[in-house]
Structure 1
Amino acid sequence: MTEVIDGEAVAADVRADVADRVELLEHAGVTPGLATVLMSDDAASETYVSMKQRDCEEVGIEGIHVEIDPDAPASELYGTIDDLNDRDDVHGILVQLPVPEHVDTRQVLRRIDPEKDVDGFHPENVGRLVAGDARFKPCTPHGVQKLLEAYDVETEGADAVVVGRSDIVGKPMANLLIQKGPGGNATTTVCHSRTRDLEAKLSNADIVVAAAGIPEFVDGSMLKPGATVIDVGINKVDAETEKGYALVGDVDYDSASEVAGAITPVPGGVGPMTRAMLLYNTVKAAGIRHDVDVGLR
């Protein structure tokens, strides 16, 4: 029987642990604060930000939300980031991506104070991750690590394949898997949409992390029997449903679940972990800023 990896349950455990760490900060007179910035009228982005704010309230993090007109000049967003960098009550800053085309995404990410960059996308934090001295691990790859740990999936010595090479998931995921230490020590291959003979790479993989952004790109025929399959993708496809679409991952769940030893569903797998690890990073950032050991590494 294939084991279904319950991201909702693991995320709930992470949030409960984070709430305990918030209490440690409160004893030291510190209330962690997360600022979310939205410069978009995209309904999905609006929903995602509101969910993050609700998560903050649940664990005792002070949520600060700023909305900027998508037609406003880029300077308004940059100025907002500068103001949040200077605020003592803000320990983490998250600018919801994507931003409008007239805004330079790289400049946005580089403008955030690296000690408040709870997404882990600032070049300084990327460099620290690669060097094995991460300040903040990017939320989605770190969430995947937590899922593997929660389900006792051994990474040491395992053959792992990451399908996807994005700065947000693929590259940092590969870096985490090859690091020395718990959750690492895997022999890791990074594949993508232009990889030749992807099936051959996947057929030997003990762990597969699919993050290519292509609906049902990986199917059961490509997998090694008993492999652990982590599906990071979430894609809308046309379907005869009330909404007119269905959400599917980068893995064909039906065929993969017949072969895999363990697999994440979509939704309910990696998504909840991404939000939970944002809270984790915010509390860690508050601890660093105020020199309080909250026990998060």
Structure 2
Amino acid sequence: MSSPSISARPAPDVLLGFSCALFTYLSWGLLPLYMKQVAHVPFAEVIAHRILWALPSAALLLLVMGGMPSMRLALRSPRIIGMATVTALLISCNWTVYTWAVINNRTLDTALGYYINPLVSVLMGVVLLRERIARPLVIAVVLASIAVGILTVQAGGLPWVSLVLPASFATYGYLRKTLPVEALPGFTLEALILSLPAVAYVAWLTASGSSHFGIDATDTFWLIMGGPITALPLVTFAIAARNLRLSTVGVMQFIAPTIAFLIAVFVFGEPFSLTRGIAFGFIWAGLIIYSWSGFVNARKHQTRR
């Protein structure tokens, strides 16, 4: 028996997609500023509260936007629940690494990771979908590989933060597109799945007297704010992906790591050595080639229509 049909996909709304993409990438770019507000809280507790408070935020949006019927259909499908469990684990891995990195003064590593992200998506298309890769994209991937090699030599090991972040998010994006449920019900389902271990962990912290929640008003406020800060951009990201061309989303996603890069260097004062500057130079060169290639292909597509 086939899984239930959640909803027919509406015609693309470009203005809605652009607005959602802009909000998403501005929110993700500014996220390190939020993380610094809770940097004294153990990162596992921060993640648990992001999950717990994201669930009511998403559920409220779901109720207001009339998505409860789709949510009920999704909960009746073991296949959808299984797929959502996989995507939930992937996004929680991404959150964990990102939170740890920012709290531990490695925001530049997160910026590099999200600069690499579109190139990882290209490689996934080649490996998983057997897509043909154009020569400009080959050059971009080679330049990114050189950058990773430079950073590996400098650090004496692979820049794991900069690799895990794009790998986990690109895989999440790929699988999320195959999940037969709209953006908001899909994220709400993911948050519901993740809330089970999060509740258990927070309850254990409370029982052991280690919790920061409810002890200090400022800490409590920022931990609660982690919910909407987490939920809204993920929902708007999924909406943008469904309403914009891949080339448009690909170019706009550079907004977030650029803001994070500027915050890391000029606000947090993270060291930006000559070696790291050279590595970023290779990445930026690759991204220029990547963006130009996408722009040219989009223009050709429009001309043929």
TM (norm. structure 2) is 0.25
Task: Report which of the two has the higher share of strand.
Answer: 1
Q: Which has the higher contact order (CA 8 A, sep 6+)?
A: 2
Task: Report which of the two has the higher share of helix.
Answer: 2
TM (norm. structure 1) is 0.25
